Amino acid sequence: MLTVKLGPLVLPLYQAMLIVSVLAAYGVSYLVGRRQKNASLGNLLSDMLIAALLAARLVFVVTWFELYRAAPWTMVDIRDGGFTPWAGILAALLVAAWRGWREAAIRKPLVLALAAGTLAWGTMSGIRHWQQNEPATLPATQLTTLAGEQTGLARLAGGKPLVVNLWASWCPPCRREMPLLSAAQKQQDGIAFVFVNQGEDQITVQRYLSESGFELSHVLLDRDTGLGKAVGSMALPTTLFYDSNGRLRDTHLGELSAASLADKLKQLHEPTNQQE
């Protein structure tokens, strides 16, 4: 499962898990604050969260600065999901250590709040791992080419790392990221790209490709959205990144930026364990 649906809102699973973990930490801080008549713990958690987000984004932008330089305003567009987790965690811990050093009374409540958040994250991660049992691999969903032939992802991958983009012509972010993915398909000879349309017919897809002028290889049809169901995604666009062994290495829900795509592709170029 890649997404969680909350009414009309669809969230990536890891974002939902993070929100629950943060709320758990805030919940403990509220209870401790009421007991000790001290609201500073909640303020500290907010400072840690802000520091984590800013640091994680800043390090990501610096890492991929050349790709942001052409459009500087996109540096603050966090919808591309560009964050460096270790930088955020380090920043949050530094803020906690600094405040804990200055205020001895807040140390124990802070440990309790962080333990609650960590426990919530660990529990959800454990449940997810238990349900999944083994690393996600290429689904065996049968797909249809624009020529009407049946095929599958493993056949198209041909032993290479594989990028699978789930899209639809009516989806604005899908259309906006298509030029980026089209260029990447031409530039990345060692990676296979597959574009799996969700729910539309052959005429609609061919008309869109003709009108847009995109020259894409491996455009497939998934009329009953079976692939989206198989990977557990209810959101478009969804992009899946598989290594050369067919194991899912990363996912991206929503519109990709040049930086976020480059960050994901970098993982596919890293050596993989060949053992089963």
Residue 96 CA: distances (Å) to CA of 20, 52, 120: 20, 11, 19
pTM for the predicted model, two decimal places: 0.87
Looking at residue 134, what is its pLDDT?
58
pLDDT in tens, 120-169: 999 998 888 776 655 578 899 999 999 999 999 999 999 999 999 999 99
Q: How confident is the model at residue 37 (pLDDT cuts 50, 70, 90)?
A: low
Looking at residue 41, what is its pLDDT?
85
Q: What is the dihedral of CA 242, 248, 249, 252, to 10 degrees?
A: 90
Residue 217's contacts (CB-CB under 8 Å, 6 or more residues apart) are 185, 193
Q: Which CATH number applies to 143-269?
A: 3.40.30.10
The distance between the two most distant Cα atoms of the chain, rounded to a whole number of Å, is: 70
pLDDT in tens, 217-228: 999 999 999 999
Looking at residue 253, the DSSP 8-state letter turns out to be E
Q: What's the rounded Cα separation, in Å, for the pair 257 and 70?
A: 12
Q: What's the rounded Cα separation, in Å, for the pair 113 and 32?
A: 9
Question: Where exactly are the structural domains of the chain?
Answer: 3-132, 143-269
Report, as an integer, the average pLDDT of 38-59: 91
Strands 248-253 and 162-167: unpaired
Looking at residue 33, what is its pLDDT?
76
Looking at residue 275, what is its pLDDT?
41
Report, as an integer, the average pLDDT of 235-253: 93
pLDDT in tens, 62-108: 999 999 998 899 999 998 999 999 999 999 999 999 998 998 888 88
Q: What angle do CA 142, 251, 60 make, to 5 degrees?
A: 155
Q: What's the rounded Cα separation, in Å, for the pair 6 and 19?
A: 13
